[in-house]
Amino acid sequence: MTPPRPHRDDVFLAATGLAGGLLLWSLGVFNQGPRHSVVDASWAVLLPLSVMTALEFVRRSRPRTALLVGTVAIVADQLTRGSIATILMFTDLVYAAVVYGSPALARRLPVTTGLVTVAVSIASLAWYQEPWALLIGILAGMVSFVPATTGAVVRNHRQAADAARLRAEQTALLAEMDRREAVVAERARMARELHDMVAGNLSAIAIHSTAALSLDDPDTSREALGVIRENSVEGLAEMRRLISLLRDSGAESEPAPAPTLAGLAALVRQAAAHGAASGLTFALTAPPSDEDLPAPVELAAYRIVQESLTNALKHADAGEVAVVVERTGHALTVAVTSPFDRPAAGPRAPGSGAGLVGMRERVALLGGEFEAGPADGAGHRTWRVRAVLPVAEDDREPAT
C-alpha cells in the first residue's frame, strides 16, 4: 500500500525545523554545555534533529507512531548537547497526536503529559533540593502538557464546528423534505378537488353526448344537449372557482363556501336526472342538515358521495343506487351501493380509477376507514363504497 503524500504544511514545518536546527548547530548554539551531556561531539545533535525532521512528514498520517519515535528522539537529544529546534518539533508532534490521533489518544495524552509534568517537578525537587528545580518541571510541562492541552482545545472546537455543520445540513435536508412533502400534499389535494368538482359534470356530458349520437330522435337529442349545456356551464364555473382559489391563495380574499351535507339532496337529484336514461334511480338517507359536524368531515362525506354517484353513473347497471349517511357513535358513516351485475341499459363513460384513490386519501387524512368493492345484495351483486369518518367530541362545530 502506497503511503499517503505528506501535507504541504507538514513539509514546510519539517523544512523550517531542519533549517533552524542546522543554523543553530553551525553557530554553535546548544541547550547545554559539554559537561552536562553524555555525548560531547557536536555532530551528535544532528541525529535526533534528523529523526524529528522525518517524523514531521507523518504527523497527520501516523500521529501515534510519530509521537512514540519522537519521544525516544527527544530523550536521545538530552544525552547530547541538545538543540532547541528538536524540542520545538517534538512539541508539534505532541500537538498533532492530539489533533489528528484517535479519540482515545486525544483523551489520554493531556492527562498523561500532566502526570509526567508533575512527576518531573517532584523528581527535580527531590534530586536538586533547590527551588530553581521547579523550572525543570515547568519546561517539561511547556514541552508536553501545554501542546497536548492546546491540541485538545483545537480538536474540541473542530468537532463542535463539524457537529454544527452537520446539524445545519440535516436541518436544511429536513426543510427540503418538508417542502417537497408539502408540495406533494398540495398537489394531491388539488387533484382530488379538481376530480371531485369536475368529473361528475364531464361524466354527464359524456353519457348524454353518447346518447345523442346513438339515438336518432330529435327530442332525445335536444334533451341531451340541454343536459350537456347545463353540465358544461356548471363544470366551467367549478373550474373558474378552483382557478380563482389558486390565484388568490396568497391574497386577502373571501374563501369559497365548502360543500356540506345539506347539499346532498340536490346532488342526488342531479344524479337522478343524469341517470334516468340508463335506468338508474337514487335514494338518499341522511341525518338532519343542522347536525353539528366538523367542516373537514362534512366536506369529505360530500365528496365521497359525489364521487360514488359519478362512478354509479359511469359503471352501475340499471337499478337503485342507495346513499346512506348516518351518525354511529363518534363517527359519520357514508355508504353508497349500486347494482353491479345487471345488463347495462344505456351509454356509459370510461373511468380512470382516480376517484377511488381520492376517496381513500380523504378518509386516510381524517384517520378513518374506507372500503370499496363488490358485495352480495338481495338476490344480486352490488358495488359498495363505505367510509367511516371519526368525529371527536371536541371537534364538533359549535351550535349557532
- Neighbour-count burial for 197-208, b at 16+ CB within 10 Å, e otherwise: bbbbbebbbbbb
Beta-strand relationship, 369-376 and 381-390: antiparallel
pLDDT of residue 249: 55
Please give the CATH architecture assigned to the domain spanning 260-400. 2-Layer Sandwich (3.30)
C-alpha span between 16 and 111 (Å, rounded): 30
C-alpha span between 332 and 129 (Å, rounded): 94
pLDDT of residue 63: 93
How many residues in total does the chain contain?
400
pLDDT of residue 220: 63
pLDDT (tens, 9 = 90+) of the chain, 400 residues, equals: 566 788 899 999 999 999 999 999 999 888 887 766 778 788 899 999 999 999 999 999 999 999 999 999 999 998 998 899 999 999 999 999 999 999 999 999 999 999 999 999 999 889 888 888 889 889 999 999 999 999 999 999 999 999 999 999 988 888 888 888 888 877 777 776 666 666 666 766 766 676 666 666 677 677 777 777 777 777 777 777 666 666 665 544 455 566 788 888 888 888 888 777 778 889 998 877 656 788 888 888 988 998 888 888 878 888 889 999 998 778 999 999 988 765 444 555 555 566 788 888 889 888 899 998 888 765 567 889 999 999 876 555 444 4
Terminal alpha carbon distance of the chain: 82
pLDDT tens-digit profile of 322-363? 999 998 778 999 999 988 765 444 555 555 566 788 888 889
pLDDT of residue 399: 45
C-alpha span between 200 and 195 (Å, rounded): 8
Domain residue extents for the chain: 8-172, 260-400
pLDDT of residue 5: 85
pLDDT of residue 110: 94
pLDDT of residue 342: 53
Tell me which residue has cell 367510509.
387
* Dihedral over alpha carbons 213, 215, 216, 219 (to 10 degrees): -100
Please, is 14 exposed, middle or buried when counting C-beta atoms within 10 Å of its C-beta (0-12, 13-18, 19+)?
Answer: buried
pLDDT tens-digit profile of 103-136? 999 999 999 999 999 999 999 889 888 888 889 8
Tell me which residue has cell 359525489.
306
C-alpha span between 156 and 178 (Å, rounded): 32
pLDDT of residue 184: 80
H helix or E strand, kind and range, residue 95: helix 84-100
